[in-house]
Amino acid sequence: MDYLAGLNPSQRAAVEQTEGPVMIVAGAGSGKTRVITYRVAHLVRRGVDPFNILVLTFTNKAAKEMRERIMKVVGNEAKNIWMGTFHSVFAKILRVEAEHIGYPRNFTIYDTDDSKSLIRSILKEMQLDDKLYNAGFVYNRISSAKNNLISAQEYLNNDQVQAEDYSNGRGQLGQIYLTFTQRCYKAGAMDFDDLLFKTNVLFREFPEVLHRYQHKFKYLMVDEYQDTNFSQYLIVRKLAAINENICVVGDDAQSIYAFRGANIQNILNFEKDYSDLKVFKLEQNYRSTQNIVNAANSIIANNQNQLKKSVFSENETGEKIKVCRAFSDNEEGKIVAEAIAQERSLKGWNYRDFAILYRTNAQSRAMEEALRKISIPYKIYGGTSFYQRKEIKDLIAYFRLTFNPNDEEAIKRVINYPRRGIGDTTVDRILIAADKHQLTLWDVISNAATYLDGRSAGAVGIFATMIQGFQVVAKGHSAFDAAMHIAQHSGLLKDLYQDKSVEGLSRYENIQELLNGIKEFSEREDIEEKGLDVFMQDIALLTNDDNDKNPNADTVSLMTIHSSKGLEFPHVFIVGLEENLFPSQLSLNSRSELEEERRLFYVAVTRAEKKLTLSYATSRYRWGTLNNCEPSRFLDELNPAYLELDFKARTTPESTASFADERQAWGQRDMFTKPKPKVAPKTTAILPKAHTPSPGFAPSDTSGLQVGMEVEHERFGFGKVINLEGNKNDVKATIFFKELGQKQLLLKFAKLRIVG
């Protein structure tokens, strides 16, 4: 029986080319894993010793899956193949060779928390401001240096790097890096990045060791090559230098990890390293419908820096891609949740057939709340539920303490976060005093001078006064104003803002999103009581972890697009397709950044098997202020032949405009010049006619607004006031607009021009 019979011609050609340098450009859904496993199995079937084969992956899951598939073809010999992640394989080598570089064979591997803890100790010893030298920021700086093979001493000796650090007020980063390296060495420990950094040192300093492994690994295969960094690239190149039997597999169109140090040039320039390179392109997509594949092609065609390929599908044509527009992120969540409920009811789909993808973790809040409201079970993939995230729980703990100062768990969580000089010893003294005198913790804290002494009493007293101040503010202010006051004056916002790492920015965005939710709660019309205490009662039900723990449970999957790579679902929703959100505002400074964002969109689209829905909101809260949003440029780049615009009752059949027309009507300009799309000519999309504000449009003082007056809104157009309610700063106007019908607006945010 021909075990290669199930491969298509391109796949089979790639499998059978076992000698010399090979690059397999594998489009989305093209059977990449199948080709890698069959290629390794083919080597073994041809007589290659499995001990001489090295296969490098990026996840343990991928390595496990490949080995199991190979075993089905070659049996237990598959167990002898060197296969695993970069870090696991080279940790194994370092265990054997560690003494060459002065480490014990049983060296410890520090995880991220271990490394950050050590950094915090060093900062304390050096008496450095841990706000300026945030442990997360320092860790990422050291990690970036190691991934670029810059040692601590080289870091200190680089005048340009030193000048940059000093100009940013962080002139001691190099010394911290050096001390960190010395302490790790003294402890016989390597951090995660050291596993690659030290392997490069080993191969550079001890050529006889490199020579031994070059002859051991006669055949190398690297999966997801587009995700390799400089350190990984150099290791692979050195190991393959003798035999040059190297095969890299990947897709430049799915290179989305630059923030982790991945360098797309490794795959784009691979041919420059090997003049006799043979390239195979896997272009048939077995995953998605023709409409989805063709739409994805129309997106990625806009990238200039890429390896050209023509991905196609022979699956069914499939439904067109639905594009939905919402007036807010909460409405967007409602649209998605209702679509899932309807699809499941009408077509008999399971909840696990659906996935909701977003650009940032903060976007999960609106989706989670909408799903909960109609009892749709879900799970957060690759992360925790919005209300279970540490930063959210920290701020909520302050809220809880404001209304119930006897809440011991809330006290323990925030009494020294952000740091305010109340260490573990002081907390222990509070616990002892409370137990001795049969008091609550708050009784001791609020009378610190009686039960504690010296500096401890002073720091604890300041904390108590702060909480008491929060209690006063909460009684006399709206939920949002009270929440913002607590977030600011607790020091939590400042602490998160100063952490400029990827994780720090995400945590800061999550706090912003929580405050956005509180702002929307403050403006709800279906409830009378809108204090922060009522909001807390509302979300108490949401914070209960009642999701099914069974990984095979029938639940909707929620995740960032980065987390979705390698996965697939029958029906995918991509939400938040707005400028400055997706593409991210942080990724519009150069063409290379914008092209990575476009690749991220391509990855998202190609996760869908049967059906794809895209959505965006025309307004979204940021720090309690409702901002207008414009549709993402990526929507313009999709060939409209594959789209179905679903704007329901808001659509006016007589008006036509493209997404670009909407942006132009709002007075928006692209922050980056787009290349001309290499797609079919655009057809017009059916959208509500955008209102062009009158020349010299300027909002009027609406304090004297009366029922019956004619007004103009810069987006909604002309209308008549038909009702006014509320008082002072919370007056709400009901206005009938000629183009859009009846809407309710808060006057303090509405920006209306009184016409007459």
Q: Which of the residues are catalytic?
A: 32-33, 223-224, 254, 607
Classify strands 643-646 and 625-628 as parallel, antiparallel or unpaired. Answer: unpaired
Known binding residue 27? Answer is yes
Written as six digits, the tokens of 732 are 């709400």
| CB-based contact 424:433 (threshold 8 Å) | no
CB 112, CB 139: distance < 8 Å: yes
Q: Phi first, then psi: what are they for 284, rounded to 5°?
A: -90, 120
Residue 31 assigned as binding residue? yes
Q: How far apart are the first and last CA of the chain?
A: 86
* 116 labeled part of a ligand binding site: no
Give the sheet arrangement for strand 569-574, strand by strand.
378-380, 556-560, 354-358, 569-574, 608-617, 321-326, 643-646
Closest C-alpha to 381, from 348, 414, 404, 358: 358
10 Å CB burial of residue 229 (0-12, 13-18, 19+) is buried
Which residue bears the tokens 């001791």?
444
CB 507 within 8 Å of CB 391: yes
The full 3-state SS of 304-351, as one line of letters, equals CCCCCCCCECCCCCCCCEEEEEECCHHHHHHHHHHHHHHHHHHHCCCH
- Coil/strand/helix, residue 635: helix
Q: Which residues of 348-364 are buried (b: 16+ CB within 10 A; e: fewer)?
A: ebebbbbbbbbbbbbbb
30 is in an annotated binding site: yes
587 carries a ligand binding annotation: no
Cα–Cα distance measured from residue 80 to residue 264, given in angstroms and rounded to the nearest whole number: 31
Residues in CB range of 380: below 8 A, 6 or more apart: 364, 368, 386, 558, 559
- Answer yes or no: is 240 a known binding residue: no
Closest by CA position to 89, among listed 113, 56, 45:
56
Separation of alpha carbons 343 and 510, rounded Å: 30
Alpha helices in 17-157 (DSSP H): 32-45, 60-74, 86-97, 112-125, 135-147, 152-157
Question: Please, what is the angle between helix 32-45 and helix 60-74, to 10°?
Answer: 40
> Smallest Cα–Cα separation from 326: which of 292, 291, 367, 361?
367
Question: How far, in Å, CA of 349 to CA of 345, rounded?
Answer: 7
Binding region: 26-33
Binding region for ATP: 26-33
